[in-house]
Amino acid sequence: MASQPNNPVAVIKDSVAKLAPEFRAALPPHIPVEKFVRVAQTAILTSPDLQNADRGSLFAACTKLAQDGLLPDGREAALVIFNAKQGNGWTKKVQAMPMIAGVLKKIRQSGEVASIDCHVVHQNDKFTYRPGIDMQPVFEPDWFGNRGEPIGAYAIAVLKSGEIVPPEIMNVEQIERVRNVSRAKDSGPWKDWWSEMARKTVMRRYAKRLPSSTDLEDQIFAKDPTMDTRPELVTVQVEAPQAEAPRLSRLEALESEVIEDAETTEAEAEPEYGRADADHGDQFDGAEDEPAYAALVRRLLGGIEAAKNPAYLKVIDDEFVQHRAGLPDDVAAQIDAALTAKRKAMS
């Protein structure tokens, strides 16, 4: 019996199946297109919200995951709904979101990492790490007891050469600082899957020190809508739009973290290196409507020039990484070039 043309479930199922040639062209050889189509159909047909979302963005998100070699199975990746402004109203758009398992999968596929782990640590777990003494952290979760509240997360990897890349460790306060500058901070994955987002946050920072870090940033983290700070995006899975999208708070770089403090003044909120920015960001001088990112660019460029050691420069680099997605390509390239030149000068 032919499928009913007005049956939305049948229409979606057929539409996904018809995209098989595009998926096949995008998928890596080790993922059969039949498996990807089956998993995508299941993800959509088990979610009424996805069925009622914008079809174009839904199928584009599926194609994006095929290109990344990730399955939309809720483990490697998920299809996430955003409310997006369209004309005078709002529409539900779909974007692809890599999960921590998908991130780890991409890192392992780089060919240079032998093993990698990323965990959330709880109050009653045993966790110790002595920099310069211990090669790896000692982590002993209390699997069968009350583990208590989360207190942080860490990531550790061993390269195929046998080298152990020192761990990245973040406490809850540091993770929450990153959350506070995300456009998705109050809903969606940050609200429902905090542990997932905490692991992705620490892994994003750690991945910068792994081989192929640029590819990981471009392919995974920079395109993750739940970690985006660009002001033009709206919050994940918001049911009712806000009258005015909240602007990014004033930011301070401290201990390689982004800190939000809406109560402080401009002078108090600037990191120490921000005081050297007076002669930078000339492209904004005389502009009638200075872009919102102008102060950030001045602070970064001034800080790069004033930096006296690598640790000082890393504070600036970390803030730049957190906000790079919200900067125009030419401005980001200018800051990148300044950082590269400063590193060479220091070395």
In a domain, 234, yes or no: no
User: Is the domain of 84 the same as that of 123?
Assistant: no
Q: What is the pLDDT of residue 43?
A: 93
Q: What is the pLDDT of residue 223?
A: 57
Nearest alpha carbon to residue 246 among 292, 203, 291 = 292
Residue 245 or residue 80, greater confidence? 80
In a domain, 173, yes or no: yes
User: Is the domain of 12 the same as that of 69?
Assistant: yes
Q: What is the total count of domains within the chain?
A: 3
Mean pLDDT for the stretch of residues 186-208: 86
Q: What is the pLDDT of residue 220?
A: 60
Q: What is the pLDDT of residue 74?
A: 87
* Spatial distance between the Cα atoms of 54 and 49, rounded to a whole number of angstroms: 10
User: Is the domain of 292 the same as that of 181?
Assistant: no
Q: What is the pLDDT of residue 217?
A: 57
In a domain, 232, yes or no: no
User: Is the domain of 135 the same as that of 204?
Assistant: yes
Q: What is the pLDDT of residue 182?
A: 78
Q: Which residue has the tokens 């906000």?
A: 323
User: Is the domain of 108 the same as that of 122?
Assistant: yes
Cβ burial, residue 135 (10 Å; 0-12/13-18/19+): exposed
User: Is the domain of 132 the same as that of 66?
Assistant: no
Instruction: Residue 1: count other Cβ atoms within 10 Å of its Cβ.
Output: 3
User: Is the domain of 116 the same as that of 217?
Assistant: yes
User: Is the domain of 79 the same as that of 186?
Assistant: no
pLDDT above 50: residue 236: no
In a domain, 288, yes or no: yes
Q: Which residue has the tokens 């901070």?
A: 185
**Complete DSSP assignment for 242-301:** -SSPPPPPPEEEETTEEEE-TTS-HHHHS-GGGGG-TT--GGGTT-SS--TTHHHHHHHH
User: Would residue 182 be called left, alpha or beta, if left means φ above 0 and alpha means ψ between -120 and 50 degrees?
Assistant: beta
* Spatial distance between the Cα atoms of 79 and 94, rounded to a whole number of angstroms: 6
In a domain, 245, yes or no: no
Among 152-156, 234-238, 251-255, the least confident range: 251-255
pLDDT above 70: residue 177: yes
Mean of the per-residue pLDDT values of the chain: 77
Mean pLDDT for the stretch of residues 53-66: 91
Nearest alpha carbon to residue 196 among 128, 97, 81 = 97
Q: Report which secondary-structure segment, H or E, holds 140.
A: strand 138-140
Q: Out of 96, 127, 144, pick the residue that ends a domain.
A: 96
pLDDT above 90: residue 159: yes
| C-beta separation of 62 from 16 below 8 A | yes
| C-beta separation of 260 from 180 below 8 A | yes
Q: Out of 96, 119, 137, pick the residue that ends a domain.
A: 96
In a domain, 61, yes or no: yes
User: Is the domain of 220 the same as that of 279?
Assistant: no
Q: Which residue has the tokens 């369209």?
A: 86
Range of the domain at 218: 101-227
Please state, for a pLDDT cut of 90, what percent of the chain lies above it.
Answer: 33
User: Is the domain of 147 the same as that of 90?
Assistant: no
86-127 pLDDT per residue, tens: 777 788 889 888 888 888 888 888 788 999 999 999 999 999
Q: Out of 178, 212, 227, pick the residue that ends a domain.
A: 227
In a domain, 236, yes or no: no
pLDDT above 60: residue 337: yes
- Note the pTM of the prediction, 2 decimals: 0.57
In a domain, 3, yes or no: no
Q: Identify the band that residue 34 occupies on the pLDDT scale cut at 50, 70 and 90.
A: very high
Contacts of 67 (CB under 8 A, 6+ apart): 26, 27
User: Is the domain of 106 the same as that of 220?
Assistant: yes
Q: What is the pLDDT of residue 283?
A: 55
| C-beta separation of 77 from 42 below 8 A | no
Tell me the one-letter amino acid at 335. I
User: Is the domain of 66 the same as that of 125?
Assistant: no
Please state, for a pLDDT cut of 70, what percent of the chain lies above it.
Answer: 74
